[in-house]
Amino acid sequence: MPNLTTPAILLRTHPFSDSSRVLRFYARDLGLVGVMARGVHRGASRGQGGVGTFAEGVAVISFRENRELQTLREFAPARAHLALGADVRRLAGASVAAELVLRHAGQEPHPQLFDSLSKGLERIEQAVPGEVIGEALALGWRIVQELGFGPELTTCTACGSVLEEEEMARFDLEAGGIRGPGCPAAEGSRRVGPVARAQLGTLLTGRVPDGLRGARAHVSLLDDFTTFHMLGGRRLESFRFLEPEADAGAEVPARN
Ligand SMILES: [Zn+2]
Residue 256 lies in a domain: no
| d(CA 156, ligand 1 centre) in Å | 5
Kindly give the distance from the C-alpha atom of residue 13 to the centroid of ligand 1, in angstroms, as a whole number: 46
What's the one-letter identity of residue 200?
Answer: L
Tell whether 52 and 171 lie within a shared domain.
no
119 and 225 in one domain?
yes
47 by DSSP, 3-state: which? coil
Q: Read off the CATH number of the domain in which 119 is found.
A: 1.20.1440.120
Are 180 and 161 in contact, with CB atoms under 8 Å apart? yes
The beta strand positions in 68-148, using DSSP E, are 70-79
Are both 2 and 121 inside the same structural domain?
no
Distance CA 90, CA 131 (A): 10
What is the tens place of the pLDDT at every residue in 176-234? 999 999 999 888 899 999 999 999 999 999 999 999 999 999 999 999 999 999 999 99
Report the separation in Å between the CA atom of 159 and the middle of ligand 1, taken as the mean of its atom positions.
4
Specify the pLDDT at position 50. Answer: 58
* pLDDT tens digits, 137-147: 999 999 999 99
Q: How far is the CA of 51 from the centre of ligand 1 (A)?
A: 51
Consecutive 10-residue runs of the chain (256 residues): their mean pLDDT?
93 90 96 88 46 93 92 93 92 98 95 98 96 97 98 96 94 96 89 96 97 94 98 96 63 46
- Considering the domain boundaries, does residue 255 fall inside one? no
Q: Considering only CA atoms, which of 210, 176, 211, 207 is closest in space to residue 192?
A: 176
Q: What is the pLDDT of residue 90?
A: 96
Determine the distance separating the centroid of ligand 1 and the alpha carbon of 199, expressed in angstroms: 21
Summarize the chain as % helix, strand, coil (round to 5): 35, 25, 40
Quick check: 135 and 120 in contact, CB under 8 A?
yes
The CA 107 to ligand 1 mean position distance, Å, reads 38
Shared-domain flag, residues 208 and 134: yes
Domain match, 27 and 52 both: yes
- Report whether 130 contacts 247 (CB < 8 A): yes
Q: Tell me the CA–centroid distance for residue 163 and ligand 1, in Å.
A: 9
* Residue that terminates a domain, selected from 80, 97, 123: 80
- What's the gap in Å between 180 CA and the centre of ligand 1? 5
> How high is the ipTM of this complex?
0.99
| Structural domain that includes position 161 | 86-249
Q: Distance, CA 73 to ligand 1 centroid (Å)?
A: 55
Residues 118 and 172 in one domain: yes
**Total domain count, the chain:** 2
Q: How far is the CA of 220 from the centre of ligand 1 (A)?
A: 24
In this structure, the answer to whether residues 38 and 118 fall within a common structural domain is no
**Residues 127, 90 share a domain:** yes
Q: How far is the CA of 218 from the centre of ligand 1 (A)?
A: 23
> 3-state DSSP call for residue 57?
strand
User: 223 CA distance to ligand 1 centroid (A)?
Assistant: 25
